[in-house]
Amino acid sequence: MKQLLILSGKGGTGKTTVASAFIKFSNAKAFADCDVDAPNLHLVKRGFDQEDHFDYFGMDKAVINQRLCMNCGLCQTHCRFDAISHKEAYVVDAMACEGCGVCERMCPVNAIEMRPAKAGDLKVFRGMATFSTAQLKMGSGTSGMLVTEVKKKLKAAIEGIEGVDFAIIDGSPGIGCPVISSISGVDMVLIVAEPSVSGISDMKRIVETAKIFQPKIAVCINKFDTNVGLSEKIEAYCKEMGLDFVGKIPFDSEVVKAVNAGLSIANVDCAAKIAVKLVYEASMAMLLKEENTLFKISRG
Ligand code: SF4
Ligand code: SF4
């Protein structure tokens, strides 16, 4: 099964709008939302008759047994994350605890235990298609591991199902741990860029990050007509870097209306839909070819 990951260097570029349209256009049998901090691909999920829930445990957290604690304060002194405080007793702030285990080793009376702590929820939907998604608990810091779990769950859920040739994955914004976990093992990355000074800088960073994993890389521009000059710069950068440029999508107020109504733009007849369809066709041609393709769409 080939995997197409849709990324952007930052939030708000329309990455999920593009991902949801791709899912509709392709009638994808497998897809996943790896934006575990703020998942919203479930807005387009459909036709599922089974929903499985799993608890996600990240790192262990320290817990103090008050019956054993003799109030020496050593744990607080050695916690470099300031996760232990003292009012009436020494207590661990689970949100601040990084699970390093130093306090457990320092405690002279073994009053501290490292315990598994729930850090998020995983869900797998099955039916006409299989959809894997997750939500990280606020304050939990293991988003990269959770993304890996989302992908593993998708793979396990579709094992043995015939005709699942590809999966579409909505990635996280930025270039942090969850993005790196998202890229690992995928066949192709489509970067949705935005024509702004910060958007170009973010796009370059995500290109550099993606290159490390050597997938096919394609770039498209969303809302290209909001700054035609910078859009041209993005195209020139792609040419210079040898990246496949797969199209540009105009700003379209119909997209906002569709998103607010919980619809994919694939369901709405508008200029953006036509442009995204071209991006989709070019991207799928790249994904499904065995070798990197020179397929390019008209730059209009
Ligand atoms: S496990 Fe580490 S971070 Fe957590 S309370 Fe103990 S020393 Fe602090
Ligand atoms: S190191 Fe152990 S005994 Fe000392 S305050 Fe912490 S938990 Fe209590």
β pairing state of 118-127 and 188-193: unpaired
Ligand 2, residues 66, 70, 84, 91: which to mutate, most atoms within 8 A of Cβ? 70
The whole model's pTM is what?
Answer: 0.85
Q: Which domains does the chain have, with CATH numbers?
A: 2-57+125-288 (3.40.50.300), 61-116 (3.30.70.20)
Kindly state the tokens that stand for 93: 């702030």
Contacts of 207 (CB under 8 A, 6+ apart): 191, 217, 219, 241, 243
Q: How far apart are alpha carbons 77 and 81 in whole angstroms?
A: 10
298: three-class secondary structure by DSSP: coil
Q: Dump pLDDT digits (tens) for 234-280.
A: 999 999 999 999 999 999 988 888 888 778 888 889 999 999 999 99
Predicted confidence (pLDDT) at residue 293 exceeds the cutoff of 60: no
Burial (0-12, 13-18, 19+ Cβ within 10 Å), 219: buried
Q: Which amino acid does the sequence have at 38? A: A
Tell me how far the alpha carbon of residue 94 is from its chain's centroid: 25
pLDDT in tens, 80-126: 999 999 989 999 999 899 999 999 999 999 999 999 999 999 999 99
* Ligand 1 site, residue 62, Cβ cutoff 6 A: yes
What pairs with residue 173 in β-bridges?
8
CB 213 within 8 A of CB 184: yes
Residue 64 near ligand 1, beta carbon < 6 Å = no
SS3 call for 61: strand
Mutate to test the pocket of ligand 2, among 61, 67, 79, 109 (most ligand atoms within 8 A of CB): 109
275 lines ligand 1 (CB under 6 A): no
Q: Give the pLDDT confidence score for residue 211 in this predicted structure.
A: 93
pLDDT score at 247: 96
pLDDT tens for 194-235 read 999 999 999 999 999 999 999 999 999 999 999 999 999 999
**Cβ atoms 127, 50 nearer than 8 A:** yes
Count CA atoms closer than 13 A to 71's CA, side-chain side: 4
Q: State what percent of residues in the chain have pLDDT above 90.
A: 68
Residue 291's pLDDT band (cuts 50, 70, 90): low
